[in-house]
Structure 1
Amino acid sequence: MSYHNLNNPYDFANPVTEQKLFAGRSTQLREIRYYLNHGIKTNKPINLSLIGDRAAGKTSLLNMIEIEAEKLGFLTVRIDLDEGDKESQLQFFYKIFDSIFNSAINQDYFGGVSGAIFDEYLNQTSAYTVAKDIALRPFLFPVQFAKAMDAGRTDVITSENNFKRDLETINKEVNKSIILLFDECNVLSESRVLLEKIRNIFMNKTNYMLVFTGTKELFPVIDDIFSPIIRQFKKITVDEYKDIEETEICVNKPLLDIGIEPSDIFDNATYKELHNISEGKPYEIQLICHNMFKKIQEGIVDSMTLNHSVLEDVRLELETSQDLAKRPKLYEIKSLNKRDLQNLNYLSKSLKRSNSTQIVNLEYLVYGNERVEREDLQLSLHKFLQRGILIDNKEGNLDFFGDDFDKLYTKYFARETGVQFEFNYYNLIPNYYRAIKDVCSATNSFLSFSRNNNAVHETIDYLSGKTTSITPDFNTISTLYAKFFAFNKQEIHHLELSFNLDGSDFYIHLFFEDDEQLLKAQQFQESFVQRITETDTNIALLNSSLNTINFTTKEVLVSKLKALKSNNLIKEAVKFHGIRFPIEHLVENDNAHQDNVLAHCEAIWELDFNQTQNFCALDHYNVVNLGYIFMINMRIEEAKMCFAHVLSSVEYNSFHISLNQFNSAVLEIMEGNFDNIQKNMDAVIFYAKEYEENTKTVDSTVCSCLFVPIKSADNSIIFKEIENPELIETAKAVKKSFN
């Protein structure tokens, strides 16, 4: 396939505006839909606030709220704020009123754009004149605006009563709930007066719902002004993608939209690499993918590969978007060698939260001199402070000099040199946990605090069968259940390390099934204690304990969770298994991992499918794939039930129906029924073509894998799993083979 004439589908410059391209945020969208549905049914909606770092995807999510609200019947009003809006109260509320009124006019209320009321409104706001005919001017604010502007008085205070009366007039005319979507609300963080005015005007106003977007710095101000906040706004956090699956969706959707099957040009292993380097930030994923796809279009590579050249292009793209001459500190960054950048990375932890001594101690106490000599790190710290790359903020904590752009540029410049750079703003406790987990090679681990450490022990005892009852602690149970399910041995070592940091206790739980890993962790513990005695530090290792946890089977683990009869716990477990089994099946081909794949499916079967079928929706697990795993493991009855569910469900599109029909036909062949092969394959081809025509995309019916019956010359039949087959062509080949 030629990619030269296709548009590059990765748009890093603009927020997402189409639902088909929006990736992830399923939890946030579920919550948003709940409050939108609530808001359309009541005259006193609950307002929303989207909180996240810059370029985290808040505007894209706001766009999705706008689409969802329109579907529900809201009158949607978009208000994109900028720095100039905070300069004049009159101009600020003119922007709000103008946005609301134009949304109503555009839907032909008040006579529409060709009506006399809109014509008079234009006179009031452009020529600053006011008609004598009262019928042409049903609003009070535009009259005040016209008179103030005619007198050259932009400092006039907006009348709250008049503005409220106008809002009621508009609401009465449109006769529906109105939602105001404010983007870039951080410009209001320095204007308490405007925020207080918004509160006074809207907080008791019926049928108006507000949505704010802003960074975490804005919301302490809003909390103060709109107190009590919990009654005024529902906060929704917009962070980077936590799960690699969300990054995968973010990569795949733009490709599918232009007719490219992702597996044709994107290797599975690259998803993890991309997720790590972008830290799950949607803007960076789009920026990197844009440059990877560009390399294909230029004929340099034939697949989307994350290499040094792509990272260099990302950095150059950043350079062209800014005038580096106005950012002289970046030239200091560019003068650093690889070793300097590594040391800067070690020091860029707990920024804004800890002082330089605490950060240097973190590195030395956990890693010793393995990564960098303590004295060398101290020298680097002094150099970075002297050059202004690192600074001591007013609280006495260490910080990086620059803004978001400076950080982004530094990260990609460092990555070009091979340094896996990361700016880190966690407090010290999570950073000690992450570092200790890293140095001990403990992929299964858990951090707890004194307030819930007992819950950890109770959960371990319950899940391992030592006790038969437990006081449910949702987070602890769901986390430990997922961790224990990853182990294949019946005996697990549990090393618990108890710490105190500045008066706060915390516990790090490390789980191992490998004796060598356990020995490595114990050696670390001894070294850590020794280094504490050499250092003036604020952390102490109080105690450690080693226990052996005995499990019988994964089936028993599942049964222990099921016995708690918690719908939320079961839902979380089913989601975990539903995410893991397709990934492990495609990525890991050894027998142990394939046994785990079947174990995941058996857990879903026991917790949900053979019970209530509460969570059969596609965002939890794909029943087509569930049946497929049962089929290739010769679990015929379970597979039949899964395939029957798909045929009876309205949630599945024609491609899933086609794929399901193929799998059902394979089941019949496995059972020796050859009578319906031609009919079944015709149905496969029919539904697949229907899907192909509806989507109008190339290779839309390519599958991850199929279990294909192959008839040999001596009429014997074997079944072979084929990766990335095209469904229609495969069905035709089976039909011909059994003709």
Structure 2
Amino acid sequence: MSYSELSNPYDFANPVTEEKLFAGRSDELKEIRYYLNHGAKTNKPINLSLIGDRAAGKTSLLNMIEIEASKLNFLTVRIDLDEGDKESQLQFFYKIFDSIFNSAINDNYFGGVGGAIFDEYLNQTSAYTVSNNIEFRPFLFPIQFAKAMDAGRTDVLTSESNFKRDLETINKEVNTSIILLFDECNVLSESRVLLEKIRNIFMNKTNYMLVFTGTKELFPVIDEIFSPIIRQFKKITVDEYKDIEDTEICVSKPLLDIGIEPSDIFENSTFRELHNISEGKPYEIQLICHNMFKKIQEGITDSMTLNHSVLEDVRLELETSQDLAKRPKLYEIKSFNKESLQHLNYLSKSLKRSTSTEILNLEYLIYGNTRVTKADFKTSYDKFIDKGILFVNPEGRLDFFGDDFDKLYTKYYAREAGVQFEFNYYNLESNYYRGIRDLLHPTNSHLSLNRDNALVHQTIDYFLNTTATINADLSTVMTIYTILFQFRKDEIIHIEMPFNLNGTNFFIHLFFDDKDEAKKVVDFQNEFEKRVKDNSTNITLNSLIINKLKIPSRVELVKKIQALHSNSITKDVIKYHGVRFPIEHIESLLEENDERENIVLAHCNAIWELDFNSKRQFCSIENYNVVNMGYIYMINLLLEEAKYCSDFVTSSLEYNKFHLSLNTFNRSVIEIMTGNLNAIQTNMDRVITLAKDYQESTNTVDSTSCSCLLIPSRTGDGDITFIEVENPELIQTALDVKAYFKSFKI
């Protein structure tokens, strides 16, 4: 395949518009689908707001809402706002009405585009004339608009009663729920009048659902301007991808769409590096991948590699999108050497959350003088303040001078120079924890506030002792359970690091199965105590608490979850295992790690006990893929469990043709293991048919690639053997197995 002949699949300039390219956001989409289904069934829908930073993916998610709403027979109306929309109330509501009416016209209501009503509407809104024929002018707002514009009066106030009447007329005609999708709603935060009008017109209007998108600053501002509106929107936060799996999907889908198997040109280890440098931000992932793929097309590399050259291209791409001459402080930053950029990175922690003294202390208390001396750090701080790169805001907190572009450019310029730069807006206590965690590299860790510390101890006690009881708290139970489940040793070390910051107690809980690693914590604490005494700071330390914990078996841990009788906790535990076992199995193949393979089976057994051996109420792709679970049982020769999983998939309506094809292949392998070779040809034909149907439905050549398959073969002596193969293509594999066994007498 000549990559130069393909289009670059990574579009960083535009939001995602196709479902097949949309990555992640499964929890957000689940919640959105719930409220869309609710809105389709009731005349009083609940409005939605998508809140997130710029370039976080809000518009892409809004596009998915439009698609999902169309499936539910909503009339979808898109309204993309801009700065000019707030200037005139009349023009603003004309934009809303025009968008709603045109959506109805495009669906052939009111006679469609060629009808007399649309022709009259064009006369009213373009020529500002009004016909005498009332049959063709069923709306009042366009008449008001025409007369106001004819008189040159763009300052005319919109009649709420007339606008409401027109909305009812449209809704009666289309006879379905109408959803209004507003993008870039931050412009509304500057107009109290428009917000009041929106509330008055829409909040009690039946069969109309609103969706707003805006930055995190939008709704607090709206709340200040007009508080009741905040209670009438269900907020959905759109953040960067938290899980590396979402970044992996974001990278893989565009490649699959143009017929490229991701593993052919993208190293598995690069996913982590990309996730870290982009901080899981979809725009940055697309921008970086665009430049990595471009290098392949230009013949510079034969794989998507994240190197210095790619980072330079990203920075240059940012430069072409802005006039740097209007951003002189960026030239100051470009003059900094690597050491200065490192110091700026250290100071860019707890921005807007902490004072400069607190941030300067943060570096010294955790790292001492190992990264930078106190004197040099203070000198750099003074330089950044003097040049306006950093400043102290009116609340006395340290902040960075620039907007989103300045931050993005600074990050990539610094990373190009070899500094792992990131802007950090965590509170001070979180940064103490993050610094200690990164320095000590504990096997597992957990940070909790004072009010939760008793609950942490209670939860640990519950899992370790047969008679303990607990007031189940989902977050704490999940944290302790997942920590304990990962350890294989019977005894581990639990270290509690208490400290007081600004009068509030905090507790860092660290867990180790290595005595040498635990000793590092003790050594660190001793150094930490010396630095606290030597420094005027708002932190005080308490003594370490060190305990040895005897961990019950994983089977006993699962029984503890069952004993809680909590559906929400059980579901989250199942989802945890459902995510982990496929990942850890792939990692075990890469590392050839038998110990990892054992925990993979332990994850599946936990799901089996929590769901398959009870009500099977969580047995869905949302929580875990039963095809994958059956595969794990098959390769571990637990064939009855594997057959049970296979039968479940066959009887379920939730699995697509690719899953059914894969399940059929695996079931054939099980039959071969049990000595039944007669159905190989028929089963492989079914595998091929289902997989080809799936290929056609997705319109992608490589949509039937798998992470791994157990492929039957024969030894030289004629015995059947099985080989696990990574990244096979299912159709070709089925053809190969069919042909291979056909050559033997059965």
The two structures have a TM-score, normalised by structure 2, of: 0.96
- Distance in 1, Cα, partners of 2:566 & 2:574: 12
655, 665, 668: which one aligns with 2:668:
665
Do residues 307 (structure 1) and 307 (structure 2) align? yes
CA distance in 2, matches of 1:229, 1:191: 13
2:725 to 722, 727, 731: 722
User: What are the Cα deviations for residues 511-547 of structure 1, in whole angstroms up to 9, with x where unaligned?
Assistant: 1111111110111111112111111212222343111
Partner of 1:56: 56
- Contact kept? 2:199, 2:229, Cα under 8 Å: no
For 2:256 and 2:360, the matched residues in 1 are separated by: 47
Does residue 1:257 correspond to 2:257, yes or no? yes
> 1:579 aligns to what SS in structure 2?
helix
User: What is the aligned partner in structure 2 of residue 559 from structure 1?
Assistant: 559
1:619 is matched with which residue?
622
Q: Spell out the pairing of 1:138-153 with structure 2 (5 A cutoff).
A: 138-153=138-153
Q: Provide the alpha-carbon RMSD of the alignment.
A: 1.6
Q: 2:269, 2:237 → 1: CA distance?
A: 29
The residue aligned with 2:75 is 75
Q: How does 1:377-392 map to 2 (within 5 A)?
A: 377-392=377-392
Match of residue 603, structure 1, among 576, 589, 606: 606
Relative distance call for 1:180 and 1:508 in structure 2 (3 A) is: same
Structure 2 CA distance for partners of 1:125 and 1:652, relative to 1, 3 Å: same
SS of the residue 1:496 aligns to: strand
Is the aligned partner of 1:713 residue 2:704?
Answer: no
> How far did residue 228 of structure 1 move?
4.3
Shift of 1:14: 0.4
**Secondary structure of residue in 2 paired with 1:708:** strand
Q: Equivalent residue for 1:583?
A: 583
Distance of 1:292 and 1:204 partners within structure 2: 51
Please give the secondary structure, in 2, of the residue aligned with 1:452.
Answer: helix
Aligned: 1:440 with 2:443: no
Q: Is the 8 A contact 1:496 1:545 kept in 2?
A: yes
Partners of 1:677 and 1:637 in 2: CA distance: 19
Matches within 5 A, 1:262-661: 262-465=262-465, 467-588=467-588, 589-661=592-664
Deviations 1:240-284 (A, max 9, x none): 011111111111111111111111111111111111110000101
Determine whether 1:3 maps to 2:9: no
Partners of 1:238 and 1:630 lie apart in 2 by 37
Shift of 1:697: 2.8
Change (3 A) 1:729 1:477: same
Query: After alignment, is 674-683 or 437-446 more displaced?
Result: 674-683
1:467-523 deviation line (CA, Å, top 9, x unaligned): 432111011101221122111112121111222222222211111111111110111
Deviates more, 1:541-550 or 1:455-464: 541-550
Check 1:71–1:690 CA distance in 2 against 1; reply closer, same or farther (3 A cut). closer
Return closer, same or farther for 1:125/1:598 CA change in 2, 3 Å cut-off: same
The answer to which of 662-671 and 563-572 deviates more is: 662-671
Sort the Cα spacing of 1:417 and 1:466 in 2 relative to 1 into closer, same or farther, 3 A. Answer: farther
Compared CA separation, residues 645 and 311, structure 1 to 2 (3 A):
same
Partner Cα distance (1:680, 1:313) in 2: 50
Q: Given that residues 665 and 683 in structure 2 are in contact (C-alpha distance below 8 angstroms), is that contact kept between their aligned partners in structure 1?
A: yes
Instruction: Number of aligned residue pairs: give it.
Output: 739
- Structure 2 gaps of 5+ residues are none
More divergent stretch after superposition (270-279 vs 463-472): 463-472
Are 1:107 and 2:107 matched, yes or no? yes
How far, CA to CA, are the matches of 1:176 and 1:190 in structure 2?
Answer: 33
1:693 Cα deviation (Å)?
Answer: 4.1
Give, in whole Å, the separation in 2 of the partners of 1:477 and 1:304: 40
Using the TM superposition, give the Cα deviation of residue 229 of structure 1 relative to its aligned residue in structure 2, in angstroms: 5.2
For residues 139 and 687 of structure 1, what CA distance do their matches in structure 2 show?
Answer: 52
Q: Which residue identity lines up with residue 14 of structure 1 in the other structure?
A: N
8 Å contact kept, 1:461–1:467? no
In structure 1, how many angstroms separate the alpha carbons of the residues matched to 2:66 and 2:463?
Answer: 45
Q: Which AA in structure 2 matches 1:596?
A: I
Amino acid at match of 1:448: S
- Mind listing any 5+ residue stretches in structure 1 that lack a counterpart? none
- Is the CA contact (8 Å cut-off) linking 2:256 and 2:702 kept in structure 1? no
Post-superposition Cα deviations, 1:195-219, rounded to whole Å, max 9, x if no partner, equal 1221122111111111111111111
| Kept in 2: contact 1:437–1:443 (CA 8 A) | no
Write out per-residue CA displacement over residues 51-107 of structure 1, whole angstroms, 9 at most, x where no aligned residue.
000000000111111111111111111110001111111111111111111111222
Is 2:192–2:226's contact at 8 Å kept on the other side of the alignment? no
Provide the rounded CA distance (Å) in 1 between the counterparts of 2:247 and 2:575: 17
Q: What code does the residue aligned with 1:408 have? A: L
Structure 2 letter corresponding to 1:729: Q
Distance 1:30 1:561 in 2: 25
Go from structure 1 to structure 2 and tell me whether the alpha carbon gap of 1:149 and 1:682 turns closer, same or farther (over 3 Å shift): closer
Moved more, 286-295 or 130-139: 130-139
In structure 2, the partner of 1:184 is 184
Give the secondary-structure state (helix, strand or coil) at the position aligned to 1:498. strand
* Separation (CA, whole Å) in 2 of partners of 1:733 and 1:103: 52
1:195 aligned partner:
195
Matched to 1:203, the amino acid is M
Which letter does structure 2 place at the counterpart of 1:136? F
Cα distance between partner residues in 2 of 1:637 and 1:221: 59
3-state DSSP class of the match of 2:675? coil
Does structure 2 conserve the Cα–Cα contact (< 8 Å) formed by 1:199 and 1:226?
no
Do the aligned residues in 1 keep the contact of 2:484 with 2:551 (CA within 8 Å)?
no
Indicate how the Cα distance of structure 1 residues 610 and 298 shifts in structure 2: closer, same or farther if over 3 A, else same. farther
Return structure 1 stretches of 4+ with deviation > 4 angstroms: none
| Structure 1 segment 196-235 matched on structure 2, within 5 A | 196-228=196-228, 231-235=231-235
Q: Look up the equivalent residue of 1:641 and give its one-letter code.
A: Y
Q: Which has the higher mean CA deviation after the structures are superposed, 127-136 or 412-421? A: 127-136
In structure 2, what is the Cα distance between the partners aligned to 1:280 and 1:38? 31
Query: 1 CA distance for matches of 2:735 and 2:241?
Result: 40
User: In structure 2, what residue type is equivalent to 1:288?
Assistant: I
**Would the alpha carbon gap of residues 174 and 728 (structure 1) be closer, same or farther in structure 2, given more than 3 Å must change?**
closer
- Would the aligned equivalents of 1:491 and 1:550 in 2 still touch at CA under 8 Å? yes
Instruction: Work out the CA distance in 1 between the residues paired with 2:153 and 2:229.
Output: 34
CA distance in 1, matches of 2:703, 2:59: 30
Output the CA distance in 2 between the equivalents of 1:268 and 1:60.
Answer: 26
Distance in 2 (CA, whole Å) between partners of 1:259 and 1:234 is 39
Equivalent residue, structure 2, for 1:679: 682
Provide the rounded CA distance (Å) in 1 between the counterparts of 2:234 and 2:291: 37
CA contact (8 A) 2:90 2:154 kept: yes
**Aligned residue type for 2:635:** I
Q: Deviations over 1:661-681 (max 9, x none)?
A: 222222222223333333333
Q: Quick check: 236-245 or 425-434, which moved more?
A: 425-434
Match for residue 703 of structure 2? Answer: 700
Residues 581 and 601 of structure 1 are in contact (CA less than 8 Å); yes or no, is this contact kept in structure 2? yes
Deviation for aligned residue 1:326:
1.2
* C-alpha distance in 1 between matches for 2:171 and 2:684: 57
Q: Distance in 2 between matches of 1:204 and 1:60?
A: 28
Query: How many percent of aligned residue pairs carry the same amino acid?
Result: 72
User: In structure 2, what is the equivalent of residue 173 of structure 1?
Assistant: 173
Query: Structure 1 pair 512/88, CA: closer, same or farther in 2 (3 Å)?
Result: same
